[in-house]
Amino acid sequence: MNTITTWSLLVLTLPTENATARMRFWRALKAKGCAVLRDGIYLLPYTDEREQMLRELSGAIAECGGTAHLLRAPSLDAAQDEEFRALFDRSEDHAGFMRALKDARKTMSGQSAAELTKLLRKLRKDYESIVAIDYFPGDPATRSAAAWQDFIGLVDTVLSPGEPHSAERPIRRLLVSDYQARTWATRQHMWVDRVASAWLIRRFIDRDAHFIWLASPSACPANALGFDFDGAAFTHVGERVTFEVLVASFGLDEDPALLRLGELVHALDVGGAPVPEAIGFEAVMAGARERATDDDQLLDEMGQVLDSLYAYFASAAKGRDTGRQS
């Protein structure tokens, strides 16, 4: 091993008379993935962010009556570096997570959309917790990541069968005036991208839109504008999901609230940068899909949710603009 790691070391004595504080600090150290060299000596591979976290923890320990000293030092040699790195081996964590995925697959049959969404959210949290402290990822991390992506794909297949493949083609700028009182068609039992796209069409593109919910994309009428399935007029293009393609196609990409909604839809549909509001929207969507008797009712109900989110994002964007001007 050619690279010598620099380490942050926290040498501490926890307060003896405050059991609650001791437990809180132990849990914080474990959550950050600190390795234990011996009682009271904890180790992390150095970064500015991690050292700042340890610095803040040191201050909290001192305030509770303990002592803490933060040091920084490199490994003495390659052998010691390898010894210290071994303390951060997450192989068992990844193996445990893959066993959890295997068990979850056995329970998926017959679960509702709300139950599957809850299961996916729990497993995502578990996976992200492991990845966050896997400071030296190796083959177990690669296998775990592949198993996680396969599981996400399986859940997506159940929640949103017929998910389109991304097309590689230019996104042409279209006139809203050419798309009025049209018939639009997408796959039935809508999930996030389809319901958001249908809302966008009715709210910003074609207020008199008529929607058809297809049992199969092959049943799409010739005179209908299809969206969010392979071969549709509007579907995934490159890295963009259908909602984002519609926003770009009709020149709506100057609206920061719609762009923010696009980030939310993108994160839930294909993954990506987390959006704080996404988990709540996903839960509401799953519940609404359980309650709705058909896709018309689902669009009406989720349309109100999207109206509220749009208003919230628009207000937040306006506040940022006002702050920059003042």
Rounded Cα distance between 89 and 260, Å, is 38
- The whole-chain average pLDDT of the chain stands at 91
Residues 35 and 17 in one domain: yes
Q: Give me the pLDDT at residue 1, please.
A: 45
Compute the C-alpha angle 316/311/208, nearest 5°: 145
Where a domain ends, among 40, 64, 86? 86
Residues 316 and 237 in one domain: yes
Residues 132 and 20 in one domain: no
Residues 63 and 139 in one domain: no
Answer whether residue 170 is part of any domain.
Answer: no
Where a domain ends, among 159, 187, 209? 159
Q: Give me the pLDDT at residue 309, please.
A: 96
Residues 125 and 230 in one domain: no
Residues 29 and 51 in one domain: yes
Mean pLDDT, residues 175-184: 96
Distance of CA 73 to the CA centre of its chain: 35
The DSSP code for 234 is B
Residues 295 and 192 in one domain: yes
Rounded Cα distance between 268 and 281, Å, is 9
- The model's pLDDT over 274-320, given as tens digits with 9 standing for 90+, comes to 889 998 999 899 889 888 999 999 999 999 999 999 999 999 988 77
Residues 268 and 255 in one domain: yes
Answer whether residue 189 is part of any domain.
Answer: yes
Residues 146 and 188 in one domain: no
pLDDT for residue 143 is more than 60: yes
Number of domains in the chain: 3
Mean pLDDT, residues 99-105: 94
Answer whether residue 63 is part of any domain.
Answer: yes
Answer whether residue 305 is part of any domain.
Answer: yes
Where a domain ends, among 86, 112, 147? 86
Mean pLDDT, residues 247-261: 96
CA distances (Å), origin 128, targets 17, 72, 93, 264, 325? 34, 27, 12, 18, 38
Mean pLDDT, residues 106-111: 84
Q: Give me the pLDDT at residue 321, please.
A: 67
* pLDDT interval class at 325 (50, 70, 90): low
pLDDT for residue 226 is more than 90: yes
Q: Are strands 225-226 and 210-214 parallel, antiparallel or unpaired?
A: unpaired
Residues 12 and 101 in one domain: no
Answer whether residue 51 is part of any domain.
Answer: yes
Return the minimum-mean-pLDDT range out of 63-72, 91-100, 146-155, 188-197.
146-155
Q: Give me the pLDDT at residue 21, please.
A: 86
Domain range for 258 = 176-325
Mean pLDDT, residues 3-32: 90
How much of the chain, in percent, has pLDDT values that exceed 90? 70
Cβ-contact 179, 255 below 8 angstroms = no
Helices 192-200 and 278-291, packing angle to 10 deg: 90
Rounded Cα distance between 168 and 147, Å, is 27
* pLDDT interval class at 3 (50, 70, 90): confident
Rounded Cα distance between 47 and 63, Å, is 24
CATH of the domain at 38: 3.30.70.240
Residues 184 and 275 in one domain: yes
Tokens of 314: 């628009």
Rounded Cα distance between 143 and 184, Å, is 41
Q: Give me the pLDDT at residue 157, please.
A: 74
Q: Give me the pLDDT at residue 324, please.
A: 62
Answer whether residue 193 is part of any domain.
Answer: yes
| Count of CB atoms situated within 10 Å of the CB of 1 | 11
Q: Give me the pLDDT at residue 149, please.
A: 83
Answer whether residue 165 is part of any domain.
Answer: no
Cβ-contact 282, 117 below 8 angstroms = yes
Answer whether residue 129 is part of any domain.
Answer: yes
Residues 79 and 100 in one domain: no
Cβ-contact 141, 219 below 8 angstroms = no
Tell me which amino acid residue 132 is.
A
